[in-house]
Amino acid sequence: MPQMRLNHFLIYKKVILYRKVNKKIRYYSLELTSTLFGEMLLTREYGGLKNKKPTGIIKKYFSNLDDSIKAFESLIGLKEKKSTIKFANEF
């Protein structure tokens, strides 16, 4: 899997999903990165585009890459069903 080094962190995957709810555009972002201690961090961020700050941020740590990729792909599978536009950025 290609990787990009950024300030001691490795960013493996990032996906942003958009959908329209009650004439408002909502987003859901998933990012998979490594930490300084060798763990994998799965960050979920969601909210409305008009808001300056996200509505919520959920972080989950994994001890290995395989478990984190499985969790990342399962969340993408669940969220893609609702979303209308997908922006994927893989490094």
* Model confidence pLDDT, tens digit, residues 8-25: 556 678 888 888 888 888
Cβ neighbours of residue 74 under 8 Å, at least 6 residues apart? none
pLDDT tens string 47-91? 998 888 999 999 999 998 889 989 998 888 888 777 666 665 554
Residue 12 and residue 9: Cα distance in Å, rounded? Answer: 10
Show Cβ contacts of residue 43 under 8 Å, excluding neighbours closer than 6 positions. Answer: 29, 30, 31, 32, 33, 57, 58, 59
